[in-house]
């Protein structure tokens, strides 16, 4: 009996010590979390209440973050703060705010946060490519070299335009082979746009049925979904970012950023033509008048096709392809509209709030090509049109993307009328978000004109 009493007292003592230790560890953990999350700066942007450990994560719908940002903008203004666990984030909203940050204070907001997915994919910390590379000398040298190489390979020149026109012809042939039956344009559009990058990187295009091309396209599609011998030689070059791992990542950047966004924009364009047949008819009438139905469109025709050009730009605006862009990181301590933002803060530029800024656009939540036309029907481009972002991190393939969108879209509308299949429901106009805003799958019929 005495032994049992002794054992009982010992167990009670142990449980008491465990309870004290648990309380101590809980208090210590909570204090540590508080120290990590507390804001040490005056004039730091306001934001929703931050919960222990998770921060403000429950304030965001990660399936539609730009919609959450728009709601928080109404509560806290154009600049507000969030906390992803222990990571500080600041979200910028509206044209004036985003322009001030990315254009007027471009270097302050030029850095990038770490992207762990690239280490997971097998790339080292010194292999960052162009899109997600940290800001500094190596990134500047690599971006300058890439732009120069793209120009040497034809970007902005007649030779590349001819490649796009040729590829548009192959695309039309593939669509014509559908014989007016319902089909999904996703794969064909992606193949056509991807072939332009292939012609730059590899020097040639692929047939759409080529098995290697199918595998390549799928791999880049998967890598995009995972991301939510022309090099100089020598050690000095490697220190400036010119090494094999970075070459692979730069090529990946060109394919992923240069194909997915453009093909997604074209999918939106055809969807809007289905939903707005009167706009499709006006585009075709303008094309028939200026170009006719036989001669392929060229970039010289762009100035003579103001309505068609306006429709393409409105697709980019209303489609909102990259609603929150890629995150930036403050390169140094900075101030923005009276708020202090310390070095190393992750910055989210809510481009959706720029493309649908009520202070700029007459009908921000409608598909309205007249946003890009003046009173005389001539094309105009408001400064708030920033689908390619702005500043030092602006898309380096913007010029190529504009060429592709104009030539592919104009050629498609010249050769076909796109209609809804009779037995299909009206396609959804809302988007699916996975870094880009893409349309839900839909079918159409392409009727030769």
Each residue's pLDDT tens digit, 125-160? 554 566 777 888 888 888 887 777 777 766 656 688
pLDDT band at 399 (very low <50, low <70, confident <90, very high): confident
CATH number (domain holding residue 92): 3.30.43.20
Secondary structure string (H, E, C) spanning 335-354: EECCEEECCCCEEEECHHHH
Q: Is residue 213 part of a domain?
A: yes
Same-domain check for residues 154 and 77: no
CATH number (domain holding residue 252): 1.10.630.10
pLDDT surpasses 80 at 26: no
Q: How confident is the model over 373-398, as a mean pLDDT?
A: 92
Each residue's pLDDT tens digit, 403-434? 999 999 999 999 999 999 998 888 999 998 88
pLDDT surpasses 90 at 296: yes
Q: Is residue 388 part of a domain?
A: no
Q: Is residue 110 part of a domain?
A: yes
Q: Is the Cβ–Cβ distance between 170 and 192 less than 8 Å?
A: yes
Same-domain check for residues 143 and 109: no
Q: How many residues does the chain have?
A: 449
pLDDT band at 229 (very low <50, low <70, confident <90, very high): very low
Same-domain check for residues 190 and 83: no
Checking phi first, is residue 320 left (phi over 0); if not, alpha (psi -120 to 50) or beta? left
pLDDT of residue 408: 98
pLDDT surpasses 60 at 383: yes
- Domain that includes residue 350, residue range: 41-116+324-355
pLDDT surpasses 90 at 10: no
- The DSSP result for 99-167, as a single string, is HIIIIITTTTT-B----HHHHHTT--TT--TTTSPPSSHHHHHHHHHHHHHHHHTTTTSHHHHHHHHHH
**Strongest mean pLDDT among 31-45, 54-68, 324-338, 386-400:** 324-338
pLDDT of residue 290: 97
Q: Is residue 408 part of a domain?
A: yes
Same-domain check for residues 213 and 337: no
Each residue's pLDDT tens digit, 245-295? 666 666 666 776 668 899 999 999 999 999 999 999 999 999 999 999 999
pLDDT surpasses 70 at 4: no
Q: Is residue 333 part of a domain?
A: yes
Same-domain check for residues 143 and 112: no
- Which residues is 439 bridged to in the sheet? 431
pLDDT surpasses 90 at 89: yes
Same-domain check for residues 281 and 195: yes
Token pair recorded at residue 143: 């971006």
Q: Is the Cβ–Cβ distance between 253 and 264 less than 8 Å?
A: no
Same-domain check for residues 207 and 265: yes
Q: Between 79 and 36, where is the model more confident?
A: 79
Q: Is residue 259 part of a domain?
A: yes
What whole-number percentage of the chain has pLDDT above 70?
A: 78
pLDDT of residue 2: 63
Q: Is residue 307 part of a domain?
A: no
* Per-residue CA distances from 222 to 132, 138, 168, 194, 388 (Å): 17, 28, 25, 14, 22
Q: Is the Cβ–Cβ distance between 435 and 227 less than 8 Å?
A: yes
Same-domain check for residues 293 and 210: yes
Same-domain check for residues 425 and 288: yes
Same-domain check for residues 104 and 221: no
pLDDT surpasses 60 at 237: no
Q: Is the Cβ–Cβ distance between 251 and 201 less than 8 Å?
A: yes
Same-domain check for residues 158 and 282: yes
Domain count within the chain: 2
Q: Is residue 363 part of a domain?
A: no
Non-local (6+) Cβ contacts of 375 within 8 A are none
Same-domain check for residues 275 and 175: yes
- First and final C-alpha spacing in the chain: 101
Each residue's pLDDT tens digit, 340-373? 999 999 999 999 999 999 999 999 999 999 999 9
Q: Is the Cβ–Cβ distance between 118 and 124 less than 8 Å?
A: no
């Amino acid at each position: 009996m005495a032994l049992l009493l002794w054992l009982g007292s010992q167990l009670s003592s142990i449980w008491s010590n465990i309870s004290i230790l648990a309380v101590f560890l809980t208090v210590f953990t909570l204090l540590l979390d508080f120290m990590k999350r507390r804001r040490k700066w005056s004039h730091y942007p306001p934001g929703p209440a931050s919960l222990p450990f998770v921060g403000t994560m429950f304030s965001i719908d990660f399936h539609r973050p730009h919609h959450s940002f728009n709601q928080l903008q109404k509560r806290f203004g154009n600049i507000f703060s969030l906390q992803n666990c222990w990571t500080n984030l600041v979200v910028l909203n509206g044209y004036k705010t985003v322009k001030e940050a990315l254009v007027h204070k471009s270097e302050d907001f030029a850095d990038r946060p770490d992207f762990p997915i690239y280490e997971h994919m097998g790339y080292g910390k010194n292999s960052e490519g162009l899109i997600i590379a940290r800001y500094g000398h190596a990134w500047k040298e690599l971006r300058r070299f890439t732009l120069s190489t793209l120009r040497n390979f034809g970007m902005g020149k007649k030779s590349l335009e001819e490649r796009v026109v040729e590829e548009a012809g192959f695309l039309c042939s593939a669509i014509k082979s559908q014989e007016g039956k319902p089909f999904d344009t996703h794969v064909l559009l992606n193949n056509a746009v991807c072939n332009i990058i292939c012609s730059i990187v590899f020097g040639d295009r692929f047939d759409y049925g080529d098995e290697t091309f199918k595998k390549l396209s799928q791999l880049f599609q998967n890598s995009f979904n995972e991301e939510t011998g022309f090099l100089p030689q020598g050690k000095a070059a490697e220190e400036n970012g010119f090494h094999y791992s970075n070459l692979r990542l730069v090529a990946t950047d060109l394919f992923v950023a240069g194909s997915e966004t453009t093909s997604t924009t074209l999918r939106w364009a055809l969807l809007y033509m289905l939903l707005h047949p009167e706009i499709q008819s006006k585009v075709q009438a303008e094309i028939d008048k200026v170009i006719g139905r036989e001669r392929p469109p060229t970039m010289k025709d762009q100035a003579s096709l103001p309505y068609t050009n306006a429709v393409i730009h409105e697709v980019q605006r209303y489609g909102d392809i990259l609603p929150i862009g890629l995150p930036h990181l403050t390169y140094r301590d900075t101030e923005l509209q009276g708020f202090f933002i310390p070095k190393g803060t992750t910055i989210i530029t809510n481009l959706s709030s720029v493309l649908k800024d009520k202070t700029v656009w007459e009908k921000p939540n409608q598909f309205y090509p007249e946003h890009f036309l003046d009173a005389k029907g001539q094309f105009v481009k408001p400064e708030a049109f920033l689908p390619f972002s702005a500043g030092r991190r602006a898309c380096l393939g913007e010029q190529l993307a504009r060429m592709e969108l104009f030539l592919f879209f104009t050629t498609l509308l010249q050769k076909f009328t796109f209609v809804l299949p009779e037995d299909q429901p009206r396609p959804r106009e809302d988007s699916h978000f996975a870094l880009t805003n893409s349309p839900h799958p839909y079918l159409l019929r392409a009727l030769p004109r």
